[in-house]
Each structure stands twice: as C-alpha cells, then as structure tokens.
Structure 1
Amino acid sequence: MNSLVFEAPWRVYSSPYDHLRPAQDKVNVVEALQEFWQMKQARGAELKNGALVIYESVPASCPPYVCYVTLPGGSCFGSFQNCPTKAEARRSAAKIALMNSVFNEHPSRRISDDFIERAVEDARATFKGSQDAADNPNTGIGAFRFMLESNKGRTMLEFQELMTVFQLLHWNGSLKAMRERQCSRQEVVAHYSHRNLDDDMRSQMALDWIAREQEMSNIIAQELRSAEEELDQARLAGRELRFPKEKKDILMLACAQLNGVDTIS
C-alpha cells in the first residue's frame, strides 16, 4: 500500500508549536495537563482508557534526562529541552503535551467536510495524484479519504492512534502481505479501523521482525538505530512521537525475545 495514507495527515497538518508557551513559567504543567484531560472526560469526551496521563522516564545514570508522556487519546510527546534532572524532563514533556492538547481544541484541528476536502486536495497535490485517484477507495489517496470520512468529528490527536496502527502495518510489511493476498485497501482500512494498538499487536510485529532477522542477520539492530535516531530528532523538534516510539518499543521487544528475555529492559 502506498505510504501516502499514513504520512499525509501529519505531513500536511502537523504544525510547529515552538511559538506557543505557557502563560507563566511557574505554572505546574504536570498538574495542568492531568487536569485538562480530566476536564475533557468530565465534559463527555470518550476516552477508552480513562483520563490518566502516563509518563515514562528513559533509564539514565546522568543528564540529560529524557521523559515521554502518552495522552489518553494515544498521542505521545517527549521532553524537548536539555534536562538536568528527571523532574525537569517530566515537566518538559508535560509542557509540549499541554500545548498540543490545548491547540488540538481549535476548530481547525477537527475533521470536518471542509477539512477532508483540504487534506485530500493537499495530499493529491503533494503526491501528484489524479482526481480519479482521490475518489477511488482502492488507491492510496482514496483510502486516505475513506479513513478521514470514517472519523469525521474527531480531532487530529484523537485520530492519532488509528493512524499509528496503519503506519506500523506499513512499516512492518503487513500491508504489503495483505495486498499480495489481494485484499483491497478499503477492506484493510475497514478491518483495522476497529483494532486497538495493544500488546498482542506489538508482540506479533516483534515476531515478524524476529523471522526477518533469521533471514537477514543484524536487520533488527540496523532498524533499531534508525528508529532511535528518528525518535530523538522528532522529540527535540517537539513533534508527536507515537509512531517512532512504537517502532523502537517493538524492535526492543524483538531483541529481548531473541535474547530469551520476557520483558523489555
């Protein structure tokens, strides 16, 4: 499947947030971020796993320290500053996540008919697709339109987990295998639109990489280095990190299984 479907929305509509800052440096951004999502839930937002914001500190014995934060909707952000303490790394991650959470409430971030038309037209221009391709669900652009229309009314951060699933399927080679079995793009999109990104899916992808390693020695290590570089670059730029972070975690899981370890160290 054409990678367009999984790259286009973030290539076209991801915006830099460097110009956004909390009103005062003294704001407790960790508390503010948690309160923001609790307020959204109280106002009726559908959060499958509740309003809990999850932090993950990267093990390190000395600075700079790195922390990731995963939002209830599935989006992930990381500390984008040079942090001398683990607490500062958590605040840095919370800061960029809070800015994105607030910005995501703007009407321009909600998937509407106008949004879909602009997104599809921009994607068609970027990838030099024809108008017929945009109306055909069996093309990359057509599948992109189908995914957007299936998620009308949601925001781009709410759309993130679904996009990450398809990005991972494309990266992992699963979509190519489905195409070889003559599954249409629309069938694949319809099926995986209801599939959560969970431990079972990660484990299956890790097994796929283990099988690939048996055919091509050292491919997991090479792919892991690439994923770590991509993740670091995106984190320092303040971008959304779910896709590169999931790639890294899946590859680390594959490494652990190859070494006979049950959990990621």
Structure 2
Amino acid sequence: EQLLFYNNYTNKWEGKLSYVLAHFQNIVYIIVTFVLLHRYKKLLLENYSKSTETNYSWLFQMNMICLLLFIFALVKNIYRFGSHFGFISTLRLSTSIIMLGFTCWLIFKALNAPKLFRGISSNLQLASALPSNHANPELGYFYDVKAELKKFMLEKEPYLDPDLTIKSLAHQMKMEQRELSVLINTELNMNFYEFINLYRIDKAKALLKDEKFLKLTILEILYQVGYNSKSSFNTAFKKTTGITPSAYRKKFHKKEFE
C-alpha cells in the first residue's frame, strides 16, 4: 500500500513539482559551489606561496562528480515520468556505482592527503574587496612601500620559507596584511603566489648560473629557493624562462656537460 501511495503521489502534479524543485535546488547548489571554488582558488593565490593546484583540483573533481550524479538522477527521473521504464534499472545501477566510487575516492583522499581537508580561514577576503587606508595615489604611500618591499625581499629573502604566507610577510614587515595584499594584487598587478615565485625563480636562476653550485642537483636547488614540489618548480621556471631548469643550467656551463 505504501508503494502504491508513493507511485500515485509521484505521478501527480504535486509529486512532479517536488521533483522539479529538488532538481532545481541541486543545480543551484552545484553552480554556487563552482563560484565559491573560483573564489577559493583566488584566495589561495593571494595569500599563500605554496602551489594550490592540488587542493583546487580535487575539490573541482569532487564537484564534477556531484554534477555527474545530478545528471544521472535527472535523466532517470525524465525517463520515469515519461513512462519509459526500460532504462531506469540501468540508470539506478549506474548512479549507485558512481556513488560507491565517489565514497571510496573520498576515503582514499582522506587517508592519503589529510591536508586537503583543512581548508582556509573564513576571515580571508579578496584584495579587490579590501578597503585601503592609503588608496589615494597622491599620498605617495604605495610608491614608498613598494620600494621598501623590494628592499626587504632582496635583503631578507623571506621567500626562501616554503610556508610563507602574506600574513607572515606582513608581520615581518610590520605592516597591515590588507595593505600588503592591496599593494601586491592591485599596485603590482599580480597575486601573492606569482609575486613570491618571481623571487624564487630569480634566486634559482642565480644558483644555476653560479659555478659554486654546480654540484647541487636541481632537486636540492628547488628546496633551497623555497619550493617543496619538483613539478611546481619546473612549471614556474619554464613559464618564466621558457626552458627547463636543466636546460637553463647547460646554457651557462656547456663545457661541464659536454
């Protein structure tokens, strides 16, 4: 009787409307999640010097799986309300398999990469949304601070710390985090990750050109300049110079590699 009541309800307009609203709610959630993911990626790039691709990629993959599940459920219900029952069992089985795989994937991620689940501070804001007490260019504030920032980066080399954040850099420079964020993202037209990468790559180029460091491997050099991932270092180096670190070193030490 309960099954009969359920079937009768789902075939009425009230049941169909509830399904439509439920699917509409799901697609809104998925779209909002993609928007939040985009914001999350920008926050990571504006506040952390480590590569953020791993965190963003797995979250993006998770939302794509949710989108796939939504599509399967939508197709299943379209067939159901259209009285096409031939594929419903297959679609249900496919959805169940995807759900099982999704659950196993989440468990695998949790066991092998627990750092992915730590997230970021909810207090972080995008630089474009941060008000600046020194936004008037006539004050010359940012001109002075840019020179101070450049001097600090060259003399103190804070970028050598692989865990450097914009918060810790602002603390070292004894200035407000929001002012430093606005300076880098607005005045220098780059995010914090790109800004730190410039100094790390310049340092790596200097080490690769110097004969005193010929005995150091590429791996040892990338650790010395603040990277902790070979793939991130190679990607950033090639993006800046157009060639790999090994090829760059050979340009200046051809005899040693002949």
Which category describes the TM-score, using the shorter chain as reference length? under 0.3
Bigger radius of gyration, 1 or 2?
2
TM-score, normalisation: structure 1:
0.26
**Structure with more strand by fraction:** 1
